[in-house]
Amino acid sequence: MANGSPNINADELPEFDKRVLEVLREPLESGHITISRAARQADFPARFQLIAAMNPCPCGFLGHASGKCLCTPDAVLRYQSRISGPLLDRIDMQIEVGAMAASALRSDGQGEASSQIAQRVASAYQRQLRRQGKANQRLSPPEIDRTCPLEPGGEQLLLDAMNKLHWSARAYHRVLKVARTIADLAAQDAIAVSHIAEAIQYRRGLRER
């Protein structure tokens, strides 16, 4: 969704200083960063794609089939709370990835070839440029309203998810942009209910924000 932007890869995200993580909020939102020193202020472009990973708890085994996790609920909450709600709100996709079984590590993959996926992504990006002159990730809220019309069922599904998961207006627009991209990858002009449902599932990660 951030075609052409550099990547920032952050493993073990909660181990970063919380003040450093909070600084990411402004550029994730606006694509710019403002530096203020004494009586001077400067604004710099800072558009990037953040890719981060973290364990579910301090020991890393919360929810594992082995039952090895001995972390207390308070310890889990303290660990996960190192990532603030406002920062999570600005991360479009939040996916929980379970541990793989040992037998699966040696099995042959049955997925698409990378070349096929790359071609589909390139086609979707060109589709976005023809429609609005920019990538979906850069759409403003008014532009989202124009380019992301929903079927009645899709609108209701998204509203129900917002009420159930207590999402903000920012989360609403970010889910719409992900759904718009899912439809583009499928070469479809309309955002179907299935696209909204898939986008919602991509945001049900940490604390279901």
Instruction: Dump pLDDT digits (tens) for 150-177.
Output: 888 999 999 999 999 889 899 999 999 9
Average pLDDT over residues 91-99: 89
Distance, in Å, from the CA atom of 92 to the CA atom of 83, rounded to the nearest integer, reads 15
Instruction: Dump pLDDT digits (tens) for 51-82.
Output: 999 999 999 999 888 889 999 999 999 999 99
Place of tokens 């380019």: 147
Q: How would DSSP label each residue in 28-43? A: HHHSEEEEEETTEEEE
Distance, in Å, from the CA atom of 20 to the CA atom of 207, rounded to the nearest integer, reads 21
Copy the structure tokens of residue 72. Answer: 């207390």
User: 208 falls in which pLDDT band (50, 70, 90)?
Assistant: low
pTM reported for the whole predicted model = 0.85
Strand partners, 37: 40
User: 111 falls in which pLDDT band (50, 70, 90)?
Assistant: confident
Average pLDDT over residues 88-117: 84
Average pLDDT over residues 87-102: 88
Place of tokens 């793989």: 100
Distance, in Å, from the CA atom of 135 to the CA atom of 124, rounded to the nearest integer, reads 9
